[in-house]
Amino acid sequence: MAAPKHRRTALERVEKFLSETYFTDCNLRGRLFGDRCPLASLSCFQTPRRIAYDEAVRQEFRPAQVGDSFGPTWETCWFKVELSIPPAWTGREVHFVWESDGEGMVWRDAQPVQGLTKEGEKTSYILTRSMKETEPHSLTLYVELACNGLFGAGKGSMIAPPDPDKRFTLSKAELVVFNRDVYELLVDLEILLDMAKLLGEENQRSFQALCTANQMVNVCDVTDPSTFPAARALAAAVFSQRNGESQHTIHAMGHCHIDSAWLWPYEETIRKCARSWVTVVRLMERNPELTFACSQAQQFEWVRTWYPGLYKQIQDFAAKGQFIPVGGTWVEMDGNLPSGESMVRQFLQGQRFFQQQFGRVCSEFWLPDTFGYSAQLPQLMRGCGIRRFLTQKLSWNLVNSFPHHTFFWEGIDGSRVLTHFPPGDSYGMQGRVEEILKTVKNNKDKGRVNHSAFLFGFGDGGGGPTQKMLDRMKRMRDTDGLPRVQVATPDQLFSALEKASSQLYTWVGELFLELHNGTYTTQAQIKKGNRECERILHDVEVLSTLAMAQGSGFQYPASQLQRLWRLLLLNQFHDVLPGSCIQLVVEDALQYYAEIRRAGAGLQQEAVQSLCRELLEPEAGNAGSTLVVNTLPWKRTEVISNAGPGRTETLGLVTVPSMGYAVVREPLLPPQPVVVRKQEDGSIAMENGVIAACLDVMGRLTSLRLLDSQRESVPDGCCANQFALFDDVPLYWDAWDVMDYHLETRKPVTTLLKPLEVTLAGGLRGSVSFSLQIGKSSTLTQEIILDAMCPYLRFLTQVEWKEAHKFLKVEFPVQVRSTNATYEIQFGHLQRPTHWNTSWDWARFEVWAHKWLDLSEHGFGVALLNDCKYGASAHGNILSLSLLRAPKSPDATADMGHHQFTYAVMPHLGSFQDAGVIQHAYSLNFPLHTVPARSAPCPPWSAFSVSSPAVVLETVKQAEDRPGAVVVRLYEAHGSTVVAWLQTSLPVEEAMLCDLLERPVAAESLRLEQRGLRLSFTPFRVLSLLLVLRQ
């Protein structure tokens, strides 16, 4: 065959032969479809609700036609489609073609059979591969059309708030003859053309591919299909030339990342799952080699509930090893903000679901799209039977390129997991030559490992893989000049990586995403709902377990708690808890939190009633005492407030034992009362024998001293509790991003509306309050409270927030010098630099923390505590807490309205560990519970206590599979090696260590000794115990 003389003309000649735009009257692409035939009839009906098939088909359908548009946004149209296939089409492949800008689902014989999404290249349903005379030529289908696109319905741009009045047009609905031989030839030529273009002019294989493609165009007469086999044989000769042994192997897996909610509501996700997964099932029927990795137990549960027929097919393909559940979590949750216990429950609920439904737990954690990964995750994975981790999100880093694609990731306790980032930096590949080459070229661990993952398929409801993606990769299975491509399973990929893992590097600590750090603050009500509901479920579990252990016939509310936990876990999805979702989703999320609060309050009341039945006052009004309940594992002495007659409140100082209760008749007297003094210049001094504070008229701290040592916390000439407003206009991702340059726009808040005044004069509690104007139209009112014996000053803050693209923070300059600050994370803490020496340092200008952050030098430090905030920073000697943002996309109303939150400042001698910062932050988040009680004397009662302040007893719950047995979870919080004794007054018969899935980890039980159970901890170790109670 003659080689083409001119490379460029040859390339363009082949391009035009395949073009969808040029020369379609005479090129190959124009022959893809043969005869066309209109539908016999088309009718529809529209509803604002997402309804079941059985209800839909009973409605009254009205005539419709191609070109009609439907809406508004979020409505649903059901179409009745009557087809009649012409007899002349016998022996031909017949497709039902449907094109619309809404997402569709084809129903046939009352079952979903095919998803239709134009953006996901799903525009046809194959009626038959070869029409037989005996097959029925007339049939009725239904198409369910959602009035939203693949990415919702943003007005003007993808992440803009949805356009409520958008219309969706049906642009094509017909029967066509599909020419499979033309299609196969098109795929051959596309691969050869891409090889010619992408392998480069210095590569002889590029010229081979181009010569072959050019010759195929010569051989091929588009009007004569008998010429096609000769052309295909030329392509086959190229594809059958094999690689050498050293070639890189790509493990390709079907994938369809579906956000559980994002630019569409939860309810629409249920249909997205069905549309996508039914499409995958159709592909598996025709391609037994196809594998599909699928995460999120919640989505399986939705499909199980709403589409039982489809779910049965999924289970069948799972049994064949094709439809592969991965991840092991309830949803793909945010990787930063959920508490340690919430993360455990993500795995507990997810892994138990997969075990029950598919007979196996997942062996890999799968979190490709989350905005950073906590350094505690490796230990939690290992505790749930997982040693492998896949993500790719760090490829989104704005500043530093992450140095590895395959490595060991080590958490704060030393646990390690094998981690892989697909080197193509995507979880939505399409099987193209360009992506295959990028996967090899981009791999940062060349020479160490020769295997990588390739996740192919459209995500977010686009239906996952397509036949064309599979057909492209079949041609590249083992073709000289390209890496080997094999369709594989996650287990095959990780097994290959494990075999070659001896050369891999280790990354220690968090996987911090250098982007999307606005998500620690956006949608403050969701953040607050998460923290509150984590607390509520903790308390309900503790109190219900204690009530159950008393053996008074109390039934532990296991099924109600599972339902509430699953609502909380769903809201921890990585576009909901971070606040990067539309208003509809926010409304749903807040409703779920309201349900957890409502049901949780009822369950807590029932548990307390059962636990303390003898002590409680039968009729209100004559209670002489107060029952005070402490759900935390240490003794607490605090000021409590009870509602008195009218709208008054009475204060009392009480001491309550750890994880137990006390009946208080006469409140304690503090060793030193709180004193509040107003000075002549309008400033106010407050002290309680532990700390002394001076506040100016604007509520700013000019001094904060520890009285014992007279150590000052606030530097000369500085003010702490200083509010600052920043301009907050990111480059694109509005709700997601706060950029480094926002720090250049700082404006201190200085407009006083109401100067500082005394609101409580002292005794058990002193308080002062003031109001400020913030920005153009927002107001902030703050009550600053000092309680007797309390080592911190707390700030109860109310904001009416009406800003646009502004960021509100509160700053505490402190008289401390340290190159690192410490931040609480899940079951522990970590340090981050307070300087910006390197690009890795300054990329962390805004970080996340849980209940506290601390800046300490040897012998002294200052901690900031909070009850619902996550965004923070420490630069130089300034601790800053991020309070509110005001993005306008994808929710134009984000954060507008009323907010209430509390933070506190705690100066301390010694280390934050020895000063009890960790315990005080818990106490701020877990208030004591008070209930009116009888006046009869009653000794205080404690269910659990721990001998070491380094060890926190985080969780007390009933065991999942053993009613009457208790699971307790403890962790080492100081970063120390320590032996601790767990004491309990519960009737424990046997105790054993278990993993996070509550499976015993050792054959022998722990010894029950007089002092309790002896437990050994290394830094940040999480231990779970199964306690079997005497019946």
User: Has 575 been annotated as catalytic?
Assistant: no
Tell me if 210 sits within 8 A of 235, measured CB to CB.
no
Q: Is the dihedral of CA 939, 942, 946, 952 positive or negative?
A: negative
Burial code (b: 16+ CB inside 10 Å, e: under 16) for 860-869 equals bbbbbbbbbb
The residue among 627, 600, 592 whose CA lies nearest residue 544 is: 600
Which strand ranges, in their side-by-side order, compose the sheet holding 941-942?
929-933, 625-630, 660-664, 941-942
Longest dimension (CA), the chain: 106
Task: Report the alpha-carbon distance of residue 146 to residue 407 in Å, rounded.
Answer: 42
Task: Report the alpha-carbon distance of residue 849 to residue 872 in Å, rounded.
Answer: 7
335 alpha-carbon distance from chain centroid: 6
Task: Report the alpha-carbon distance of residue 975 to residue 990 in Å, rounded.
Answer: 29
Cβ atoms within 10 Å, residue 138: 9
For residue 383, CA distances in Å to 955, 994, 1003, 1021 come to: 15, 9, 17, 11
Transcribe 36-49 into DSSP letters. EEE-SEEEEEEESS
For 996, phi and psi rounded to 5 degrees?
-70, -15
The residue among 150, 721, 182 whose CA lies nearest residue 457 is: 150
For 653, phi and psi rounded to 5 degrees?
-100, 125
For 512, phi and psi rounded to 5 degrees?
-90, 125
Structure tokens at 566: 């699953």
The region that residue 763 occupies, defined by phi over 0 for left and psi between -120 and 50 for alpha, beta otherwise, is left
Task: Report the alpha-carbon distance of residue 742 to residue 729 in Å, rounded.
Answer: 8
The residue among 331, 335, 347 whose CA lies nearest residue 995 is: 347
In the chain the first and final C-alpha atoms are separated, in Å, by 88
Task: Report the alpha-carbon distance of residue 264 to residue 152 in Å, rounded.
Answer: 5
Task: Report the alpha-carbon distance of residue 80 to residue 33 in Å, rounded.
Answer: 24
The catalytically annotated residue of 188, 259, 369, 413 is 369
CB within 8 A of 157, min separation 6: which ones? 889
On the 0-12 / 13-18 / 19+ scale of CB atoms within 10 A, 703 is middle
CB within 8 A of 904, min separation 6: which ones? 792, 793, 794, 795, 864, 865, 866, 920, 924
Query: DSSP state, 436?
Result: H
The residue among 888, 610, 550 whose CA lies nearest residue 733 is: 888
Q: Is the dihedral of CA 610, 615, 621, 623 positive or negative?
A: negative
Task: Report the alpha-carbon distance of residue 468 to residue 708 in Å, rounded.
Answer: 75
Q: Is the dihedral of CA 264, 527, 855, 816 positive or negative?
A: positive
The residue among 728, 607, 665 whose CA lies nearest residue 934 is: 665
Which strand ranges, in their side-by-side order, compose the sheet holding 988-994?
951-958, 965-972, 1022-1029, 988-994
Structure tokens at 993: 């260590």
List, by residue number, the catalytic residues. 369
